[in-house]
Amino acid sequence: MKKYNKKHSSSNPHDSGASHVSGESVFIDDRPEQVGELHLAIVMSEVAHGKIKNIKTDKAKDHADVVTVLTGDDFCDNTWGPIVKDQPLLANKLISHYSEPVALVVAKTREAAYEARKLVEVSVDELEPVFSVDNAIANSSYLSDEFQICQGESKEALEKSKFKLEGIFENGGQEHFYLESQACISYPDENGNIHIESSSQHPTEVQHVVAHALGLAQHQVVCVVKRMGGGFGGKESQASHMAALAALATKATGKPCRLVLTKDDDMKITGKRHPFKNWYKVGFDEKGKINALEVNFYADGGAYLDLSPAILQRAMFHVDNAYFLENATIKGRVVKTNRSPNTAFRGFGGPQGAAVIESIIEDISQKLKVDSLEVRKLNLYDDSGLETHYGQKVENNFLPKIFSDLETKVNYKKWRKEVDDFNRSSVTHVKGLSLTATKFGISFTSKFLNQANALVNVHTDGTVQVSTGATEMGQGVNTKIQGIVSEAFGISPIDVRLMPTSTEKNHNTSATAASSGSDLNGAAALVACQEIKINLAKLAILKSKNDQEDEYNTERDIDTSKVHFKDNMITSSSFSYSFKEIVALAYMNRISLGARGHFKTPEIHYDVKKGKGRPFLYFTNGAAVSEVLIDKATGDTKILRTDILMDLGRPINEGIDYGQVAGAFIQGLGWATGESLEYADSGELLSHSPTTYKIPSIQDTPREFNIEFIRNNTNTINVRGSKAVGEPPFLLGLSAWNAIKNALHYTDSKTFDELTLPATPEVIMKQLGEGDLI
């Protein structure tokens, strides 16, 4: 991988990097077991759909080490859901998906809990399940109404188009495969209060769900998140479910209760990335310029609503990806199936939307017999202030420069010729090449979620503790906020400590999601820093004037604009004091050294009924070009080379951003080319472990992997002029999928336009057919 340019880098090391490597980082199941602590195991349904007749727990309760067995009837309220409370915490009336939680075994040891759960008998009158989008549509099985976004006159423009294509695009789901499974510990507190330690992206939702389920007020529940061993969206909403189960056991027993899922149970119970099936029509001219696009999205939401409507809407927002749609009609609906309820996953629907247009462009290029890059450049958003199909102006747009720079950097025309030459001579293998883009909107699509608060406390020795609503899942949000605060005060990053996220310090916070963790919480922390800095600057000015009576009075109106905080000093043209000196003086003069900052994202709005607005603060842009090599005899694909060029504004921490770009791309690569969820006819997930579910290994990554950033100082609307990085590069994994589709153009495949995602070796072999085998 290409190393970043250290001359421009502000890459402080990840705050947990050393402890991760040494094994000293503490995760949920590393916490010492308390005296009397109990262990939990979930009893799961062994049918996909049916009415529960009875749940027999007597045999399990007779186990020597079992304390109790709990069911949905033991909750004060047995319903939950991040948007609509439509999901039972423990199913007690209707089974809606295979492996749905039905009962909870509470035992003295983990081994006993898992032994005893086999003794719980669940009798069910089975009902006919729904397992596919087609089946759901045929049965009018829906979880949402239809959403619609319209721009221009797509029907008329489609009819007038010289060329037309129509078809179906399908993408599969994806398992989050965080290394730390769903995990939480519930501790009893005085007066019936509950303290939860959770591996969650959303401590506030854990707090609220637990309080609701147990009939408690929200102030009776505290949730603390130190860190997660990965999240990727899978712990945004669904960690709350696990916390409620643990809290129920604590309420029933008065004991600390630990629930740590095995990887198998986690994969069986929890939801995935949403599979989609979409019907489309596109009209274009002889050069490939798109005149009209119509897409009907159908997202498989699974058994319950979860976050599906928001995910579907983001897919609809991102169907343009980086390309201007003058005339478009985009519709979408969430279908209900008897699968685990699908949920947030890195990209949050954006990849599913972008995949459609990138696939269509590949088909247009084949239809017209031109290079797909030329079609992309023709349709690319330019710098003239064009609007998206939902009415947001594309500002500070570096997409043309990114495409131009990347095309030049990799010598694309020469590269394409080399691929052409190889394919003319090779009998056993075929190569493909494709350059795709990402234009990812940054903000939560629900307006009220775009807010954060932070608590900054400066101690008398000049060190700082910071508490925010952001949760650390390995992505480095704590390190970025550490950098923002240290720069604000002009002190060393080692003097700034990010504290565990707690609902008692940071209230009513949003999930660390939507790539907005650093944006929102970093901005809130900066607001708090500014309040403290004004007081310190006033004090420094007063001290320099020896303007003192009994105490320095910083409540006076004093101009601090010429005071600077840098290199552990507070300076102006007339004075220079150490940061620690002024901090100590502030304490002696009873001046506050702590502040709470609140930030809300400006300028965003969206009308769902009209399908118009500005749902995003800005866009993170980038492009990737990938070359693949396919073995015609096996369908096995190797990624020979990938080059990525990103616009991340002015990165807060380039080292972390490079890691995020690489990780997101590889995870996107897995979704696009290798990861396949396999189910039995009964609805049981078969690929529920590392032995049956394939995530990318080192052998699946590009043999040559180059990542570079464009320098861009135009994004002044965001904290430090930075741009979010967590999700946007995921979409660039589509460059490999499109390269596979391009490779199929060189073969005898007559069905390249029906290529589904992921393009696994099995899928590729079906595309090649017998006629192209050696």
pLDDT band at 732; cut points 50, 70, 90: very high
3-state helix, strand, coil in the chain (%, to 5): 35, 25, 40
In terms of phi and psi (left: phi > 0; alpha: psi -120 to 50; beta: otherwise), the region of 733 is: alpha
Cis, peptide link before residue 32, omega less than 30° from 0: no
Summarised one tens digit per residue, pLDDT across range 121-159 is 999 999 999 999 999 999 999 999 999 999 999 999 999
The phi, psi pair for 123, rounded to 5°, reads: -100, 130
Q: What is the pLDDT of residue 546?
A: 79
Report how far residue 450's alpha carbon sits from residue 604's, in angstroms, rounded to the nearest whole number: 9
Q: What is the pLDDT of residue 554?
A: 82
Alpha carbon 311 to its chain's center: 11
Burial class (CB in 10 A: 0-12, 13-18, 19+), 170: middle
- Half-sphere CA count of 58, side-chain side, radius 13 A: 2
Helix axes 350-368, 372-379, angle to 10 degrees: 120
Please choose, from the candidates 202, 201, 444, the residue with its C-alpha nearest in 3D space to the C-alpha of residue 311.
444
The tokens describing 119, both together, are 């003794």
Q: What is the pLDDT of residue 9?
A: 43
Mean pLDDT of 372-388: 97
**Is 727 an annotated catalytic residue?**
yes
Sorted by where each starts, the structural domains of the chain and their CATH numbers stand as 31-128+176-269 (3.30.365.10), 276-445+608-768 (3.30.365.10), 451-600 (3.30.365.10)
Summarised one tens digit per residue, pLDDT across range 162-178 is 999 999 999 999 999 99
Summarised one tens digit per residue, pLDDT across range 65-110 is 999 999 999 999 999 999 999 999 999 999 999 999 999 999 999 9
Q: What is the pLDDT of residue 770?
A: 56
Residue by residue, DSSP assigns 393-407 as B--S--HHHHHHHHH
Summarised one tens digit per residue, pLDDT across range 653-662 is 999 999 999 9
Q: Is residue 8's pLDDT more than 50?
A: no
Q: Which of 727, 754, 762, 770 is catalytic?
A: 727
Q: What is the pLDDT of residue 773?
A: 44
Report how far residue 84's alpha carbon sits from residue 309's, in angstroms, rounded to the nearest whole number: 11
Q: What is the pLDDT of residue 753?
A: 79
Q: What is the pLDDT of residue 280?
A: 98
Q: What is the pLDDT of residue 386?
A: 97
Q: What is the identity of the amino acid at 563?
A: V
Q: What is the pLDDT of residue 774?
A: 43
Contacts of 273 (CB under 8 A, 6+ apart): 173, 174, 176, 342, 345, 351, 352, 671
Report how far residue 526's alpha carbon sits from residue 504's, in angstroms, rounded to the nearest whole number: 20
Mean pLDDT of 601-611: 97
Report how far residue 123's alpha carbon sits from residue 119's, in angstroms, rounded to the nearest whole number: 13
Q: What is the identity of the amino acid at 106?
A: V
The tokens describing 318, both together, are 């991102």
Indicate the SS3 state at residue 85: coil
Please choose, from the candidates 224, 201, 225, 220, the residue with its C-alpha nearest in 3D space to the C-alpha of residue 210.
220
C-beta separation of 292 from 161 below 8 A? yes
Summarised one tens digit per residue, pLDDT across range 632-648 is 999 999 999 999 999 99
Summarised one tens digit per residue, pLDDT across range 676-696 is 999 999 999 999 999 999 999
Q: Is residue 1's pLDDT more than 90?
A: no
Report how far residue 595's alpha carbon sits from residue 386's, in angstroms, rounded to the nearest whole number: 41
Report how far residue 83's alpha carbon sits from residue 312's, in angstroms, rounded to the nearest whole number: 14
Question: What are the E-state strand segments in 20-107?
Answer: 38-44, 50-56, 66-71, 79-80, 87-88, 94-95, 101-107
Summarised one tens digit per residue, pLDDT across range 390-430 is 999 999 999 999 999 999 999 999 999 999 999 999 999 99
Contacts of 294 (CB under 8 A, 6+ apart): 154, 155, 158, 280, 281, 282, 328, 329, 330
Count other C-beta atoms under 10 Å from residue 243's C-beta: 30
Lowest mean pLDDT among 442-451, 542-551, 609-618: 542-551
pLDDT band at 161; cut points 50, 70, 90: very high
Q: Is residue 5's pLDDT more than 70?
A: no
Query: CA-based diameter of the chain, in Å?
Result: 95
Beta pairing partners, 88: 79
Beta pairing partners, 468: 454
Q: What is the dihedral of CA 702, 379, 415, 638, to 10 degrees?
A: 30
The conformation of residue 91, written as its DSSP 8-state character, comes to: -
Summarised one tens digit per residue, pLDDT across range 33-46 is 999 999 999 999 99
Please choose, from the candidates 100, 176, 523, 169, the residue with its C-alpha nearest in 3D space to the C-alpha of residue 319.
169
Q: Is residue 2's pLDDT more than 80?
A: no
Average pLDDT, whole number, for the chain?
96
Q: What is the pLDDT of residue 3?
A: 43
Mean pLDDT of 272-278: 98
Q: Are strands 496-498 and 464-468 parallel, antiparallel or unpaired?
A: parallel
Q: Which run of H or of E encompasses 356?
A: helix 350-368
Summarised one tens digit per residue, pLDDT across range 496-524 is 999 999 999 999 999 999 999 999 999 99
Q: What is the pLDDT of residue 10?
A: 63
* No. of helices (H) and no. of strands (E), the chain: 19, 31
Percent of the chain with pLDDT over 90: 94
Place of tokens 């029933």: 252
Q: What is the pLDDT of residue 548?
A: 62
Report how far residue 300's alpha carbon sits from residue 294's, in angstroms, rounded to the nearest whole number: 20
Q: Is residue 29's pLDDT more than 70?
A: yes
Report how far residue 18's alpha carbon sits from residue 581's, in angstroms, rounded to the nearest whole number: 31
The conformation of residue 757, written as its DSSP 8-state character, comes to: B
Ordered alpha helix ranges (H), 369-456: 372-379, 399-410, 412-425
Cα distances from 525 to residues 434, 467, 604, in angstroms, run 41, 8, 21
Cα distances from 634 to residues 629, 760, 767, 770, 774, in angstroms, run 12, 10, 12, 12, 10
Q: What is the pLDDT of residue 549?
A: 56
Indicate the SS3 state at residue 80: strand
The tokens describing 228, both together, are 């997660």
pLDDT band at 771; cut points 50, 70, 90: very low
Q: What is the pLDDT of residue 394?
A: 97
C-beta separation of 598 from 610 below 8 A? no
pLDDT band at 479; cut points 50, 70, 90: very high
The tokens describing 216, both together, are 């408690």
Q: What is the pLDDT of residue 590?
A: 95
Q: What is the pLDDT of residue 551?
A: 73
Report how far residue 275's alpha carbon sits from residue 113's, in angstroms, rounded to the nearest whole number: 34
The tokens describing 240, both together, are 């709350």
- Half-sphere CA count of 92, side-chain side, radius 13 A: 15
Q: What is the pLDDT of residue 749?
A: 76
C-beta separation of 617 from 602 below 8 A? yes
Q: What angle do CA 713, 718, 724 make, to 5 degrees?
A: 90
